[in-house]
């Protein structure tokens, strides 16, 4: 399936631990932010990764990442992270993700028009068996939920 899904949005605040000595978000932390947003995206369907692993033996691993850094985020910025499924396969998903700085820091949709795009990434995630780390199909119940929004 190659149709893109509707964006899932999740907000996060930049903390001191996220920044380097220059007060700018350390580049690798965008991957952490994207990971958290994908985890919350899964939760929005009622799935938790630990529960999936325990009940189905399925876990998700990052296979590939590509991030373009466009503008820096700084301490106390409020960011909006987006998640879009670009391609859905039997045992993998390709995501398009973005990090936006919200101008007011209050998360109001009206002020989001002036948000600044900070980073854009494409992430490929594979579903693997927790015991063998060999590819396996995405659990059917989760796949059905994803297909509804994609």
List active site positions: 20
Whole-angstrom distance, CA of residue 102 vs CA of residue 116: 7
Whole-angstrom distance, CA of residue 122 vs CA of residue 145: 21
Nearest partner of 4 among 87, 65, 61, 76, judged by Cα = 87
DSSP 86-111: EEE-SSEEEEEEEEEE-SSSS--GGG
Q: What share of the chain is helix, strand, coil (3-state, %, to 5)?
A: 30, 40, 35
Q: Environment class of residue 132 by beta-carbon count within 10 Å: exposed (0-12), middle (13-18) or buried (19+)?
A: exposed
């Amino acid at each position: 399936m190659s149709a893109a899904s509707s964006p899932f949005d999740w907000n996060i605040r930049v903390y001191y631990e996220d920044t380097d000595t220059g007060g700018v978000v350390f580049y690798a932390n965008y991957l952490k932010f994207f990971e958290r947003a994908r985890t919350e995206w899964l939760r929005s369907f009622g799935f938790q990764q630990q529960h999936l692993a325990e009940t189905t033996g399925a876990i998700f691993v990052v296979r590939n990442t590509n991030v373009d850094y466009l503008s820096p985020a700084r301490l106390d910025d409020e960011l909006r992270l987006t998640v879009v499924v670009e391609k859905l396969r039997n045992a993998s998903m390709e995501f398009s993700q973005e990090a936006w700085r919200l101008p007011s820091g209050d998360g109001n949709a009206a002020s989001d028009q002036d948000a600044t795009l900070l980073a854009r990434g494409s992430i490929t995630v594979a579903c693997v068996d927790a015991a063998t780390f060999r590819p396996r199909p995405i659990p059917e119940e989760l796949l059905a939920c994803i297909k509804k929004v994609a």
